[in-house]
């Protein structure tokens, strides 16, 4: 495991305004009424793509608290083949992948039309804000090598 360049708590203290702005953006989709379990799936999928262990652990914990079925968490990386995600979840995950890979493919009209089949115009804006927020968090956490907040077994524990 790579050493942290900055601890998460140090980030919160040393750049409180950046932390506050990211946190504020992160909360908008839920406050606007999008389903909290859907938002966690979106955040997890983007974090998988971006390889952000810190955000994966955080959002797995959040998803479990929300009682997101374990099968969905287990199969999220293969959501297209899993057959267990609703049409709305699939549309959100596809939009998440499109925006997370935006430098490679842009955001084609067909991708927007597909997400609009499940989300109204306002919901798409808030869904997009959730995707933007998690991508920003992923970049911050990966850049600073925030370690995931997992319980590690103690060495030589009896």
Q: What are the pLDDT digits (tens) for 58-109? A: 999 999 999 999 999 999 999 999 999 999 999 999 999 999 999 998 999 9
Q: Residue 150's pLDDT is what? A: 59
* HSE-CB of 104 using CA atoms within 13 angstroms: 5
Average pLDDT, the chain: 92
Those residues with Cβ within 8 angstroms of residue 143's Cβ, 6 or more apart along the chain or in another chain: 5
Domains of the chain, earliest start first: 35-144 (1.20.1290.10)
pLDDT grade for 29, boundaries at 50, 70 and 90 = very high
pLDDT at 6 over 90: no
The pTM score is 0.90
């Amino acid at each position: 495991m790579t050493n942290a360049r900055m601890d998460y708590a140090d980030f919160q203290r040393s750049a409180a305004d950046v932390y506050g702005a990211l946190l504020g953006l992160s909360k908008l989709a839920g406050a606007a009424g999008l389903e909290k379990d859907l938002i966690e799936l979106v955040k997890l999928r983007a974090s998988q793509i971006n390889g952000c262990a810190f955000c994966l652990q955080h959002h797995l914990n959040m998803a479990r608290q929300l009682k997101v079925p374990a099968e969905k968490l287990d199969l999220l990386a293969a959501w297209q083949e899993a057959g267990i995600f609703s049409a709305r979840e699939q549309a959100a995950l596809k939009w998440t992948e499109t925006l997370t890979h935006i430098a490679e493919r842009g955001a084609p009209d067909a991708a927007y039309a597909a997400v609009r089949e499940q989300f109204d115009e306002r919901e798409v804006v808030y869904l997009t804000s959730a995707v933007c927020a998690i991508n920003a968090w992923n970049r911050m956490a990966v850049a600073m090598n925030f370690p995931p907040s997992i319980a590690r077994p103690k060495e030589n524990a009896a």
